[in-house]
Amino acid sequence: MTMRAIDQKLMRDLWQMKSQALAIALVVMCGVGTYVMFITAQNALRSTQDIYYRDYRFAQVFASLKRAPESLRARIQSLPGVDQVQTRVVAQARLDMPDFNEPVSALMVSDSGRHGLNALHLREGRLPVRADEVVVSTPFAKAHGLQTGGNFDVILNGRRQKLTLAGTALSPEFIQQMRPGSVFPDYKRYGVMWMERQALGNACDMQGAFNDLALSLRAGADVESVIDRIDELLDHYGGQGAYTRHDQRSNRFLNQELTQLGTLASLFPVLFMGIAAFLLNVVIGRMVAMQREQIAMLKAFGYGNIEVLWHYLKMVSVITGLGVAGGIGLGVWLGRQLSGIYMEFYNFPYLQFTLQPGTVLEAAAISLTAAGAGTVLAVWRAAALRPAEAMRPEMPASYRETGLEKLGVKRWLSQPARMIARNIRRHALKSLLSMLGIAMACGIILTGLFQRDTVGYMVNVHFGMAQREDISVTFTEPTAARVRFDLQSLPGVRHVEVFRLVPVQLRHGHLSYRTGIRGVEPGGDIQRLLDAELRQVDMPDEGLLLTDFLAKILDVKVGDKVRVEILEGSRPVREATVSGLVREYTGVSGYMELAALNRFMHEGPTLSGAYLSVEGGQLPQIYTRIKGMPRIAGVAERMQEIRNFNRMMNETMLFFTYIATVFSIIIAFGVIYNSARIALTERGRELASLRVLGFTRAEIAYILLGELGILTLLAIPFGLWLGEWMCYYIAHTMQNDLFRVPVVLTPGTYAFAATVVLVSAIISGLAVRRRIDQLDLIAVLKAAE
């Protein structure tokens, strides 16, 4: 089959404009790629979560208590709405890992078999059968290089016991395995393990009893009333308040993360696709407008408007289609990478990755519509002219003096400078659109980079100004204050600050939040509370300080009273006055003066843990000594926390930061290169005329590139402003009770964004300069247009 002549023309035109077409296709590719990447990753993680929860029967209601007889189970089972009930034994344990000196702690959970709630997904080995067998979470096993059949010592309920590894597993209940009080996992120092129920019960003096509860609900059950009934039942047994899956720690973390990802998944693609679509529209519009004479010629030959339009739509579709195809491929690949990272991070047993046809269609539809609209408008304008008219040289466009010149600036401007000024003025809309395009490209570079700056800043504030301890220790249970002197007397310990941590439910009106109140020593040097300006907050003698975001959640201001439902001991309910707010970027909690909290709790001087600052190089000795102190449940090292934090950030957030940066650089280049190329085509004739008049190449390059330069220079501050605004928007949409991301943009980041745009402009300028040097003077002058 031979190709029709008009299609031959299509192919040749495309080949002629290959570098421009490529630049446009790249922009489309980045837009579509981001879109597909985020949407597919988001879908994959959501559906993986759903299927995992369903297949492994993740419970819907949870409760912890001091101790209750197993006989209570039947009464719980008979509550209306309750489906499956799982009573469990859960205990904190300390581990003595071979070849690892630092203290390691673990959460020991009784296993409920293959068919119970919160079933385990075994990765290796089998479920525990014998009393000395244990299944450990896969990431913990990996971190320590544990093999099935291997042994390690555990100190459970003050007794040392040797355990054998029966297998490794993942659980829907512990997708996120984090030490209480920490917001990032540390698999080397904290793990979850499962033992046979009876064996764990014996070890913890829980024979015929349980201290933890998980249950599932029948369809249509009234969750609130189930929770109230359970709280009533557990009241006598030291219940700490039942809560739903929504407040379950691992699930909440996961949901927050997925929601954040969802926010990015809706924000970034909209941003990138929007910008790509805008650029596509502008660039295609101008490109087709350049074909005015050819359109007239086609019409003169007898082609109809529709055929002409179709011809150009095909041309544009090829370019856009290339970008879309590339973008989908790239997006799927990146989506897989991103989901893979998250899968690893969340310890999903598998990943449900599918590319939804809808996503592909959406991306293609958005791109083709944007390109099509630009084409239709441009072709319509050209085709509206009668052929003879369109083939005559275009009337000189009308120009006026610019306002600036009228003000008297004119006498300072050379003729070329006036040409630049008037061109920008004459094609105000076109100039504005080019500028806007460059500004957007500049802006999205910031959105890509600001997270990196922010993470650095958060680490500085959190670990440098607020949490300045070398290690923190937590006690197995509230402990008399004299323990402080035991810690102080450890060799190598420079300074000790203690704290009391009380789990509470805070209520204000119908709003409530489950968290802890931390009693801290006033004027502390290790742990400091900071206000919004990061100045140390003076701890009031009475009253409660709240994280500012928690005050927002509870809708309280300084001076308001909140109801404090204490979730330990006899679970008293009290009232406290909010006497100030503190700024924190991770987590939310309440703070009181240590003695005030002890008074509030009607208890003597009692502590939950301590912060230690230690002499350099003394940590190993201190660890050895602490290992011998049975009251200490866990130890966290600040440097390790910083490393964990950075690792988590690097693994998740910074992946797309990198992608976004690369994409925005491509977009910046695509926009500027095309603007320059189109400007050259539009003004080639004028520039050739100047060459004939004796202007040098450098002089005419100045006129063309000067305009581009001015637009770029104007676009950069605007783009930085736009980018800053986008960063605030992203930070605002992403804030939640686990993380508040401050917008921090370092001068270096601004400089980087500006430099990327400038370098793109310079490279584009050089590429176009080469073409200016090759201008065919005679041909340009001979042709009418």
Site residues for another protein per CB under 8 A: 393, 395-400, 414-416, 418-419, 422-423, 426, 685-686, 689-697, 699, 777-778, 781-782, 784
Please report how close the Cβ of residue 402 comes to another protein at its closest, in angstroms. 10
**302 vs 396 by CB, closer to another protein:** 396
Please report how close the Cβ of residue 685 comes to another protein at its closest, in angstroms. 7
Please report how close the Cβ of residue 424 comes to another protein at its closest, in angstroms. 10
Cα dist from 763 to 437, 657, 780, 783, whole Å: 17, 24, 25, 30
d(CA 722, CA 712): 14
Tell me, letter by letter, the H, E, C secondary structure of 400-461: CCCHHHHCCHHHHCCHHHHHHHHHHHHCHHHHHHHHHHHHHHHHHHHHHHHHHHHHHHHHHH
Please report how close the Cβ of residue 674 comes to another protein at its closest, in angstroms. 22
Please report how close the Cβ of residue 405 comes to another protein at its closest, in angstroms. 10
Please report how close the Cβ of residue 12 comes to another protein at its closest, in angstroms. 14
**548 vs 682 by CB, closer to another protein:** 682
Sign of CA dihedral 429, 431, 437, 441: negative
d(CA 685, CA 44): 54
Angle between helices 653-692 and 638-651 (to 10 degrees): 50
Please report how close the Cβ of residue 784 comes to another protein at its closest, in angstroms. 6
**16 vs 207 by CB, closer to another protein:** 16
**144 vs 286 by CB, closer to another protein:** 286
* Nearest alpha-carbon partner for 139 in 110, 174, 114: 174
Cα angle at 81 between 79 and 83, to 5 degrees? Answer: 90
Q: What residues have CB less than 8 Å from 386, skipping those under 6 apart?
A: none
**173 vs 293 by CB, closer to another protein:** 293
Tell how far CA 543 is from the center of its chain: 35
CB 490, CB 550: distance < 8 Å: no
**573 vs 781 by CB, closer to another protein:** 781
**74 vs 693 by CB, closer to another protein:** 693
**428 vs 558 by CB, closer to another protein:** 428
Please report how close the Cβ of residue 422 comes to another protein at its closest, in angstroms. 4
**393 vs 522 by CB, closer to another protein:** 393
Give percent helix, percent strand, percent coil of the chain, each to the nearest 5: 55, 20, 25
Q: How many CB atoms lie within 10 A of CB 350?
A: 12
**166 vs 421 by CB, closer to another protein:** 421
Structure tokens at 173: 């209940």
Q: Which amino acid is at 594?
A: L
Please report how close the Cβ of residue 783 comes to another protein at its closest, in angstroms. 9
Please report how close the Cβ of residue 785 comes to another protein at its closest, in angstroms. 8
d(CA 654, CA 667): 19
Where does residue 743 fall: left (phi above 0), alpha (psi -120 to 50 degrees), or beta otherwise? beta
**354 vs 414 by CB, closer to another protein:** 414
Instruction: Say if strands 471-480 and 632-637 run parallel, antiparallel, or are unpaired.
Output: antiparallel
**78 vs 774 by CB, closer to another protein:** 774
Phi, psi angles (nearest 5°) of residue 399: -120, 160
Please report how close the Cβ of residue 782 comes to another protein at its closest, in angstroms. 8
**106 vs 420 by CB, closer to another protein:** 420
Structure tokens at 669: 């280049």
Helix (H) / strand (E) element for 685: namely helix 653-692
**558 vs 777 by CB, closer to another protein:** 777
Structure tokens at 279: 């650029």
**429 vs 693 by CB, closer to another protein:** 693
Angle between helices 18-55 and 653-692 (to 10 degrees): 170
d(CA 735, CA 358): 29
Q: Which residue has the tokens 């964004």?
A: 753
Instruction: Say if strands 151-156 and 90-96 run parallel, antiparallel, or are unpaired.
Output: antiparallel
Please report how close the Cβ of residue 679 comes to another protein at its closest, in angstroms. 13
d(CA 593, CA 605): 12
**531 vs 699 by CB, closer to another protein:** 699
Tell how far CA 12 is from the center of its chain: 45
Please report how close the Cβ of residue 654 comes to another protein at its closest, in angstroms. 48
Sign of CA dihedral 642, 644, 647, 648: negative
**631 vs 691 by CB, closer to another protein:** 691
Instruction: Say if strands 104-110 and 190-195 run parallel, antiparallel, or are unpaired.
Output: parallel
Please report how close the Cβ of residue 409 comes to another protein at its closest, in angstroms. 14
Please report how close the Cβ of residue 385 comes to another protein at its closest, in angstroms. 17
Helix (H) / strand (E) element for 4: namely none
Sheet holding 209-217, edge to edge: 82-88, 209-217, 61-69, 243-244
Please report how close the Cβ of residue 680 comes to another protein at its closest, in angstroms. 16
In terms of Cβ atoms closer than 10 Å to its own Cβ (0-12, 13-18, 19+), residue 700 is buried
Please report how close the Cβ of residue 390 comes to another protein at its closest, in angstroms. 16
Tell how far CA 217 is from the center of its chain: 33
CB 575, CB 565: distance < 8 Å: no
Q: What residues have CB less than 8 Å from 85, skipping those under 6 apart?
A: 73, 76, 77, 213, 214, 215
